[in-house]
Amino acid sequence: MLYQLYETQRALMAPFSEFASASAKLYNHPLSPFTHIPLAQRLSASFDLMHRLAKDYEKPEFGIRTATVEGIEVAVQEQVPITKPFCRLLRFKRFTDDAKALEVMKTQPTVLVVAPLSGHHSTLLRDTVKALLHDHKVLITDWTDARTVPAEVGPFHLNDYVAYVQEFIRYLGPEVNVISVCQPTVPVLAAVSVMATHGEFTPRTLTMMGGPIDARKSPTSVNNLAMNKSYSWFENNVIYRVPPNFVGAGRRVYPGFMQHTGFVAMNPDRHVSSHYDYFQDLIRGDDDSTEAHRQFYDEYNAVLDMPAEYYLETIKTVFQDFALVNGTWDVDGTLVRPQDITTSALLTVEGELDDISGAGQTKAAHGLCTGIPKERQFHYDVAGAGHYGIFSGRRWREMVYPEVKAFIKRFNEPGNKRDLEPATRRLSANADVAAAPKAKARAKVAAKATSMASAKTGTKAVAQAKPRTRKG
C-alpha cells in the first residue's frame, strides 16, 4: 500500500513541479518583464528549488562521449555485448583514426567494473569509468530497475547475481581485471572463489573498494540496522509489490524511494545545508556551483527498485549470518572458499571517513584469501575520503585512481603474467593432486607385494640351484 501512496503523491506533485520550473524561468529569463521587479532573483531561486524538490528523477545517462589516450582525444561509444533480464553488460568502446593511440589501446588491460545493486543506478560510477577509460578497456554491470522487469520473468536471487558476474568474467576471458565497488565486493569474491574451486581461470586482479566483506568490523549505522532487525522484520516492513502503472507490476521489490529516504536520513543536516547553499548560489548567479549541485543530485536522487529475494538474501547472508567470513555460504551446491583463489592479485581500498562500510570491513578480504601469496596482496587507506570519495570526485582522481592504475599495470605486464593454463588441464591437475596420496599408497602396497614375491622366488631358485648329495 505504501508504494501506491508514494506513486499517488508523485503523480500529484508532477504538475506542481512543472509549474515551479516555469515560474523560475518567468522571473529569471532576460526577455521576461518580471525579471526586473524587486526580489525577482529570490523568487526565481525559490521556484527553482521547489521544482527540484518535487520533480521525479529518472535514470541519468553516462554521457561519456570522449576519452584521452596518450594525450589524444578518442571517441567513446556505448555497446551492449550481453543482455540479461536484470542486467546489461555495458562496454565503453573507444574509436580513433590515430595509429599511435590505436596501438596503445590494443595493448591496454581490460577492466570489468561491477557496480552496486543497492539503490542507485550504475551511473553513480561515472567518474570511475571516466578515469579508467584513459588507460583501460572498460565494461560495467548496468543493473536494471526491478519495476521494469515483467513478473513472469521470475525472481532474482543473490546466487543469480553471483552467476551473472561469473558469466561476464568468462565472456571477457582470463585477461580481465575486476573492480567491485561497495555492495558487490561480497558476491564478486564469492563468484571468483567458486570459479577457483571448480578449477576455472580467475581474473588477473581483484580490486575491492569500500565493501562489507566482514560487516562485524567497525559497524556503521547501515550495518547496525541490518544486524539488529530480524529477517522477518525486513520482509514485513520494507518489501512491497510494484504498482500497476509499471511493466513489473506485481513483482515484490525493495523500493528505491525507501532506500533514498534511508540515505538522506543518515545525514539530514548535510542535505539541508547543501540545498540552502544551492538557493544562495542561485541568487548570487554562481552558475558553476549551481550546476555542480544539479549534477550531484540528479544522480543521487535517481534510484531503482531491487528484487525482494536478492535484497532479503543479501541482508541475511552478509549482515546477519556473515556467511562469507564464517565459511558457510553455499552457492548452488558449492561452498564459497576464498582460500582457493591462488593466481589473482588483490587490492583493497577503504576511505578514512567511510560511514557506510567501516574501517577494516573491506581489508578483511586478505584474511580470507589465504591462497594468494602475500606479495600479491595490497591495501590502501584513503586519507580524508568518505564512502563516495573512494570512487568519485577529486580524491578518487588524484589519490585512488593512480594506485589502482599502477596495481593493474603491474600484474598485466609481460614479466608478471601468471600461469594461464586451460581450465581442463587445471581440473586434471587438481584431480591428480587429489589422487596422489591414494596412488602413492597403492604403489607402496604393490612394491611391497613385488618385493615379497621376488624374495620368495629368489629363495626357491636358490633351493633349486643347491647341489644335491647322492646317497652312497
Q: What are phi and psi of 428, to 5 degrees?
A: -65, -40
pLDDT, residue 72, reads 94
Distance between CA 44 and CA 24 in Å, rounded? 4
Percentages of the chain per state (helix, strand, coil), in multiples of 5: 55, 15, 30
Q: What is the pLDDT of residue 419?
A: 45
Q: What single letter denotes the amino acid at residue 182?
A: C
Kind and range of the H or E run holding 259: helix 256-266
Q: How far is CA 85 from CA 16, 103, 142, 275, in A?
A: 35, 36, 11, 37
Beta strands across the sheet bearing 137-143: 66-69, 72-84, 87-95, 137-143, 110-114, 176-181, 205-209, 345-351, 377-382
pLDDT at 417: 53
The pTM (predicted TM-score) of the whole model is: 0.84
Backbone angles phi, psi at 179, to 5 degrees: -120, 125
* Full 3-state SS string of 176-235: EEEEEECCCHHHHHHHHHHHHHCCCCCCCEEEEECCCCCCCCCCCHHHHHHHHCCHHHHH
Question: Which residues, at least 6 apart from 377, have a Cβ–Cβ distance to it below 8 Å?
Answer: 345, 346, 366, 369
For residue 158 the three cell numbers come to 543473490
The alpha carbon of residue 468 and the mean position of all alpha carbons in its chain are separated, in whole angstroms, by 89
In one-letter notation, the amino acid at residue 209 is M
3-state secondary structure of 110: strand
Contact 354, 385 (CB under 8 A): yes
Torsion 152-158-163-169 (CA) sign = positive
Residue 135 in contact with residue 405, Cβ under 8 Å? yes
Q: Which helix (H) or strand (E) holds 331?
A: strand 330-331
- Asked if residues 68 and 74 have their Cβ atoms less than 8 Å apart, the reply is yes
Supply the DSSP symbol for 433.
Answer: H
Check whether domain 66-255+305-416 has CATH 3.40.50.720, yes or no = no
Given this model, what pLDDT does residue 436 score?
A: 42
Residue carrying the nine cell digits 647341489: 467
In angstroms, the CA 348 to CA 366 distance is 8
Distance CA 152, CA 149 (A): 8
* pLDDT tens, the chain, 472 aa long: 788 888 888 889 999 999 999 999 999 998 899 998 999 999 999 999 999 999 999 999 999 999 999 999 999 999 999 999 999 999 999 999 999 999 999 999 999 999 999 999 999 999 999 999 999 999 999 999 999 999 999 999 999 999 999 999 999 999 999 999 999 999 999 999 999 999 999 999 999 999 999 999 998 888 888 888 999 999 999 999 999 989 999 999 999 999 888 888 878 898 999 999 999 999 999 999 999 999 999 998 999 999 999 999 999 999 999 999 999 999 999 999 999 999 999 999 999 999 899 999 999 999 999 999 999 999 999 999 999 999 999 999 999 999 999 999 999 987 665 544 433 333 333 334 334 443 444 444 344 444 444 443 443 333 333 333 333 3
First to last CA, the chain: 121
Per-position DSSP letters for 122-169, written without gaps between them? GGGGHHHHHHHTTTSEEEEEEEPPGGGS-GGG----HHHHHHHHHHHH
* Sheet of 306-307, strands arranged across: 240-241, 252-254, 306-307
User: What confidence score (pLDDT) does residue 276 get?
Assistant: 94
* 3-state SS, residue 353: coil
